[in-house]
Amino acid sequence: MILNDRKFLVLAAMSVMFLALAAAFAFNLWGRTPPASPIPLADPKFVDTSPSRVAIAEFIRKGGDPSDYDCDICHEKNKPIKIKFDAENNIILPKEHADIALSHGSHKRNNNCYNCHDEMNLSLLQTRDGKQLKLVDSTPLCGSCHGPTYRDWEAGVHGRTSGFWNRDMGEYSRLGCPSCHNPHSPKFPGREPAPGPHALHPVAKAPAHNEAERNHE
């Protein structure tokens, strides 16, 4: 009889406790976890795969009209142009080329048209060892001076490569140097860094040290 009374009391106590817990949850006495804030989408400028500039080589490769870039329209073919310099050894550009800003290197030694252009055929480029290249194949010309960077470009760690990592799954494309660097002024302008990844769950902050601990440190 005593055991039955004890069981009844235990069950009654548990029932009261569960009813109290149910009421606490129903009235939200301890509060609820606030809903996670939506993760904002990345700014399109950080995921845009288009080149930073439209190079003449890409313009011609995609079927653009190259007549505006035909040097022979104004210059006599197979006759070198005499380059004029000022007192500080800067090239004096004619008004037809006033839009060109020559700033290839800080020492000004590369600010010479014939360092890259073939003086006998202005529609071609010329490497340091005398090899002629078409405008659409200008990247090896850059590599003839910038060897380590060209090596990194060939390995795919410099520049922009788009497409499939697995070549068996699809094609890939690799931008040449002029698609990012202006050949006459190749220093690449600084850019705002992309934001860091968003955490999927709130990151708990470490408890702050008390004054005694900070003084001890």
Evaluate whether residue 17 is within a structural domain.
Answer: no
| Closest listed residue to residue 122, CA positions, set 81, 91, 94, 85 | 81
Q: What distance in Å separates the CA atoms of residue 216 and residue 195, rounded to the nearest whole number? A: 36
**pLDDT for the residue 151:** 93
Q: What distance in Å separates the CA atoms of residue 95 and residue 85, rounded to the nearest whole number? A: 15
**pLDDT for the residue 81:** 86
Domain count of the chain?
1
For residue 163 the two structure tokens come to 């497409």
Identify the domain containing residue 146 by its residue range.
44-179
Evaluate whether residue 213 is within a structural domain.
Answer: no
Tell me the torsion sign for CA atoms 192, 194, 199, 204: negative
Q: What distance in Å separates the CA atoms of residue 76 and residue 70, rounded to the nearest whole number? A: 11
**pLDDT for the residue 209:** 56
Q: What distance in Å separates the CA atoms of residue 25 and residue 27, rounded to the nearest whole number? A: 5
Evaluate whether residue 2 is within a structural domain.
Answer: no
Q: What distance in Å separates the CA atoms of residue 135 and residue 42, rounded to the nearest whole number? A: 36
Task: Give phi and psi for 173, each to the nearest 5.
Answer: -130, 145
**pLDDT for the residue 148:** 94
Judged by DSSP in three states, 117 sits in strand
pLDDT under 70: residue ranges of the chain:
1-4, 201-217
Evaluate whether residue 198 is within a structural domain.
Answer: no
**pLDDT for the residue 107:** 76
Q: Which amino acid is at 173?
A: S
**pLDDT for the residue 208:** 57
Evaluate whether residue 142 is within a structural domain.
Answer: yes
Q: What angle do CA 115, 120, 123 make, to 5 degrees?
A: 80
**pLDDT for the residue 130:** 84
Local structure of residue 201 (DSSP, 8 states): S
**pLDDT for the residue 152:** 93
Evaluate whether residue 201 is within a structural domain.
Answer: no
**pLDDT for the residue 169:** 87
